[in-house]
Amino acid sequence: MQSNLNDLNRPGEKNHAGDVNQWEEEFDRTALKYHLIVCKVAIVLNPIFGISDYYTLPAHFSDFMATRIVVSLGTLFGLLFYKKLNFSSSFLAFIPVIGIAWQNAYMYSVMDVPALQKHTFAFIALFIGAGMLVLWKPFYTIIVVVSTSLASILLFYFNSPLALSDILINGALLVFAVAVFAIVLIQTRYNLTRKEIISRMALQESNKQLEITNEIIEEKNKSITDSINYAEKIQSAILPDERSFAHVLSDSFVLYKPKDILSGDFYWLNQKEDCLLFAAADCTGHGVPGALMSMLGCTFLNEIVNEKQITEPARILSELRERIISILKQNQDKTERKDGMDIALCKIELQKKRLLYSGAFNPLWVLRKGGLIEFKANKFPIGTFVGEKMEFVSHEFQLEKGDCIYLFTDGYADQFGGPSNKKFNYKRLSALLLEINSLSMQEQKNKLEQAMEAWKKQTEQVDDMLVIGIRY
């Protein structure tokens, strides 16, 4: 991008696009529009103004008209053949301007004082008109002014009976002043137009580069999104689907709402003989990092239960913690990284109708006969933590028919919304569960989804959400 801007701002250099700089090509196109107007005006109006010569100086009407016609024909020739003759836009405008300037110099040289005074305005109109319309480099104007001045001096010397003082007083000084003004005006318009074209082309180049960058970003985003969508399929294949819960526990639900396509929350289910194990976990982060941790969590839980035959919740969490610390090399990392997970893990012994629970930050709620029983989790995660290493505590609870068991991560309670844009919080969640406790689990899931949509409305989801409900 910088090189393109430099190319635009160095007017003598060539680039790969053509014989001249890009800005000069654009400048010529802009100037040509004005210079075509100059030529057409000169061709038509110059002879028409010859009518006034008949009344100003009738004795010279014929030679004046002949001079005007020659200038108009020369301009017409340039207009018709400038492409074949490869005239530049500046030279095309130079033909009528220099022609009319010399024509006026000749006419000036044979006039008396009254006619000289009247014709001064024609000379002034020429220079002002040129200043308003022509777009060329200043030396063209200097050539016109200098050559016209020299021509006027010579023609006055040979033709005019007037004294130098008469010539100067009655128009020459005024014409010269206007000519100088025309030089300044043309130079100013030239510079302003040049800068405007360079700025516009730089902006176009910037927009072009921006479009290219956006296309690259869109392509990369598509590639990343495609990869994430594929990763989501892999994650979904590892996680048990909701039908697994419904097959094992007929009255249950899983409310699972990732913040992004991939989720750092995961749920897990495993059945061993008459034992049913299930968990709700929240890994560090969300999106891709959280998804990688969730797949590790699912894999390790299956290995611990299926291969090592460990089914007691507190022992499972201890084993899971050791594996997470080892795989993430947290025992070698002195920076005390916080990667890991929070989890609520339950075991239901079907024959004994007994529930065992152990948790890392994530509690267990049991609703029985309109009341809520909370089993608190250990206040340390699955992973490293500051302080002395502690063992996970296991809780036991005798189940009764109709008990509702709820496991969840913090995403639902931490969602912002409502009239004051505050967190939904656990108090509001417990009140909602108590209110809908008599409904079927599928109906409860619908009510939880509806309540959350009404709460957050247009507010962005801040974290992955996971709530599991089971009626015993």
**The domain that contains 385 carries what CATH number?**
3.60.40.10
User: In this predicted model, what pLDDT tens digit does every residue of 332-350 receive, in sequence order?
Assistant: 555 555 678 999 999 999 9
Total count of domains within the chain: 2
Is a pLDDT exceeding 50 seen at residue 472? yes
Is a pLDDT exceeding 70 seen at residue 64? yes
User: In this predicted model, what pLDDT tens digit does every residue of 185-243 receive, in sequence order?
Assistant: 888 989 999 899 889 888 988 999 999 999 999 999 898 888 888 888 888 888 887 77
The secondary structure element, H or E, covering residue 147 is helix 138-159
pLDDT score for 15: 44
* Number of other CB atoms surrounding residue 397 within 10 Å: 19
Q: Where are the alpha helices (DSSP H) in 282-425?
A: 287-302, 313-327
User: In this predicted model, what pLDDT tens digit does every residue of 236-258 receive, in sequence order?
Assistant: 888 887 777 777 778 899 999 99
Same structural domain, 181 and 103: yes
Is the whole-model pTM more than 0.75? no
Same structural domain, 253 and 191: no
Domain membership flag for residue 454: yes
Same structural domain, 164 and 295: no
Is pLDDT larger for residue 289 or for residue 401?
401
Same structural domain, 404 and 453: yes
Domain membership flag for residue 463: yes
Residue in 396, 266, 270 with CA at minimum distance from that of residue 343: 266
Distance of CA 37 to the CA centre of its chain: 42
Same structural domain, 187 and 330: no
Lowest-confidence range among 6-15, 94-103, 347-356, 387-396?
A: 6-15
**Last residue in a domain, options 193, 211, 229:** 211
Same structural domain, 200 and 266: no
**Last residue in a domain, options 172, 193, 211:** 211
* Number of other CB atoms surrounding residue 158 within 10 Å: 8
Q: 318-344 as b/e, with b when 16 or more CB fall inside 10 Å?
A: bbbbebbbeebebeeeeeeeebbbbbb
| Residue 331's pLDDT band (cuts 50, 70, 90) | low
Q: 213-252 as b/e, with b when 16 or more CB fall inside 10 Å?
A: eeeeeeeeeeeeeeebeebbeebeebbbebebbeebbebb
Domain membership flag for residue 228: no
Same structural domain, 307 and 391: yes
| Residue 11's pLDDT band (cuts 50, 70, 90) | very low
pLDDT score for 339: 72
Domain membership flag for residue 258: yes
Residue in 289, 248, 246, 300 with CA at minimum distance from that of residue 265: 289
Domain range enclosing 369? 239-471
User: In this predicted model, what pLDDT tens digit does every residue of 260-292 receive, in sequence order?
Assistant: 888 899 999 999 888 999 999 999 876 788 888
Same structural domain, 265 and 409: yes
Domain membership flag for residue 221: no
Same structural domain, 408 and 260: yes
Is a pLDDT exceeding 90 seen at residue 131? no
Same structural domain, 194 and 252: no
Domain membership flag for residue 230: no
Domain membership flag for residue 390: yes
Same structural domain, 119 and 257: no
Same structural domain, 162 and 294: no
Domain membership flag for residue 234: no
